[in-house]
Structure 1
Amino acid sequence: MSADAEPRRLRADAERSTARILAAAEELLAVDPAATLERIADAAGLARATVHRRFSSRKALLEALTCLLNERYLHGLEQARVATAPPVAALYRLTELLFELKVDSRAIMELTADPATKMTPMSPEVTAGLELLFRRLREAGEITATDTAWCCALYLAVVHEAARLPADSPALGIAAGDVGARADLTYRTVLAALGGDRPHLELRDETSS
């Protein structure tokens, strides 16, 4: 075995263990938000000492889950092609993806939310991607608001509130149970609030194809 093969193997083992811990934590915390590191270790099928080596405290585990969620946000920005797609299409697709993410990652979002904003803190990379999208919307004449930080804050607030609407809310229309209904509401609300005055056609079929 080469001199550096053993460290590489140990790093790979550690990465696999970490992934198993995070997957188990996400699944277990969705059922019991108060689950301990010991219970998470059992769910991951790992020794409790292994979990404590990776995460010294519950706070450290939640910080890792926050990073995981930010990786998913970044993946959503890439899928929406915020840098290259027509900006209104990118906005709509990103909005769909965020609501899908809220369904799939609800437990992480609730546990890692900032008490003041009720949202998971976003990494600088995620924030930069969102700001790029709103700059492009401004440059394309789709909105008139110029403060990208304000645009992002308003957008995320509308996403958060739309996600909290009950399924039978009149605001969601006849497709209330559909992720697309929440995306439609958010998309139109945000464009109107940020000074968009162009008529925007239904984008759901285009962006999901």
Structure 2
Amino acid sequence: MAPPASARPMRADTERTVRAILTAAERVLSANPAATMEQIAEAAGVARTTVHRRFASREALVRALAAWAAQQFHDAVTAARPDTAPPAVALYQATANVLRVKAGWGFAMGALPTDAPEVARVHADVLAQCERLFIRARDAGLLPSDADLDWARRVYYALIHEAAAQAPDTDAAVDALATRVVDTLLHGVGKPATA
């Protein structure tokens, strides 16, 4: 995954440096949200001046980190092929992929600026993909034909949020939580009412 696109393409070594800084920033800021640029530089294995050359301020670094996480979030959903994979498969895969992003990029996902155009664009596209997937799931009989798809999507998002709060740290934990989220969405948590 490449760092956020800028006005011109970065050289490969510059891209690696930016990626190392962003990865270190996520790790350091997750442990200590008040961490300094110097602490981030040390964790990235680069000079403080390198961090300052790439990011004019701590705020600029956090914005870049949030934009990068938003792009990873988008890529996680897109990789599930929500428009072409069987709906049940796409729903499970999107859930697992998003949980992996949320688990690995918790600070950045929480720092997403709502006023940043690139973040808004990414979220609008993810929303559109999710809406189409839920229509396909309803059409395939996974959701009732009269389901309120907006409500179902909101419940799904809430389930993912709660699952991510459990901080899954292994692939097996992510897979188990993804299965639980999808099962809860499609089948609920209680016994069906008897007629």
Q: Deviations over 1:56-89 (max 9, x none)?
A: 3322222212222222222222332211111011
Match of 1:130 in 2: 130
Shift of 1:24: 1.9
**Alpha carbons 1:70, 1:126 under 8 Å: kept:** no
Counterpart mapping for 1:23-38 below 5 A: 23-38=23-38
Q: Note the residue ranges of structure 1 that are not aligned, 5 or more in a row.
A: 1-7, 115-119, 168-176, 198-209
Counterpart mapping for 1:106-121 below 5 A: 106-109=106-109, 111-112=110-111
Match of 1:39 in 2: 39
**1:77 matches 2:72:** no
Match of 1:52 in 2: 52
Counterpart mapping for 1:7-26 below 5 A: 11-12=10-11, 14-26=14-26
Counterpart mapping for 1:1-209 below 5 A: 11-12=10-11, 14-109=14-109, 111-112=110-111, 123-143=123-143, 144-148=146-150, 150-165=151-166, 178-192=173-187
Q: Deviations over 1:33-74 (max 9, x none)?
A: 321112212333334333223323322222212222222222
Larger Rg: 1
Q: Note the residue ranges of structure 2 that are not aligned, 5 or more in a row.
A: 1-7, 114-118
* Distance (whole Å) between structure 1 residues aligned to residue 57 and residue 66 of structure 2: 14
* Distance (whole Å) between structure 1 residues aligned to residue 47 and residue 167 of structure 2: 41
**Alpha carbons 1:138, 1:146 under 8 Å: kept:** no
Shift of 1:127: 2.2
TM-score, length-normalised on structure 1?
Answer: 0.66
Counterparts in 2 of 1:135 and 1:106: CA distance versus 1, 3 Å: same
Shift of 1:186: 1.0
* Distance (whole Å) between structure 1 residues aligned to residue 147 and residue 57 of structure 2: 43
TM-align CA RMSD: 3.2
Shift of 1:14: 4.1
TM-score, length-normalised on structure 2?
Answer: 0.70
